[in-house]
Amino acid sequence: LLQRDGNLVAADGTSDLTLKIGKGQYYLALNHRNHLGMMSAGPISMGYTATTPIDASLLTFTTYGINATKTMSGKQVMWTGDADATGIIDSGDRGATWNNRNDQSYNLSDCSLDGITDSADRGITWNNRNLIEQLPN
């Protein structure tokens, strides 16, 4: 689960996330609902007994592509506003937030993740317009 504060935890909501993968070098890609996906710029050692946490919010965590993340309160965060899940923040996303205005449910157009689609979400899609997800094909 990706928590509101950006922490990834196991399905119980509190335990550390454990990846059951063989020991090796892996690229870490993260994607979340209405955010543009991001990926590590290079492979990361993972597997079996790795106990070192991976913190993609650190400004020293390098990402693939150009402008894949933004800095907010001293942390690296994913761009939000992809309300139609196309990998591009554009007029389709602004339309989705307008069409779902005042909706109080878990949906893609709630870009601020506050539980309601409103003008704040439309503002996010406008402010982050023309951004493209930085993931390889």
Cut 0.85: pTM above it: yes
Q: At what angle do helices 91-99 and 119-127 cross, to 10 degrees?
A: 180
Predicted confidence at residue 19, as pLDDT, reads 78
Regions of the chain short of the pLDDT cut 70: 48-52
Residue 30 CA to residue 48 CA, distance in Å, equals 20
- Give the chain's length: 137
Predicted confidence at residue 18, as pLDDT, reads 79
Position 49, amino acid: T
Predicted confidence at residue 48, as pLDDT, reads 67
Cα separations in angstroms, 135 against 29, 38, 90, 113: 8, 6, 17, 23
Contact 36, 79 (CB under 8 A): yes
Q: What are phi and psi of 41, to 5 degrees?
A: -70, -25
Predicted confidence at residue 2, as pLDDT, reads 74
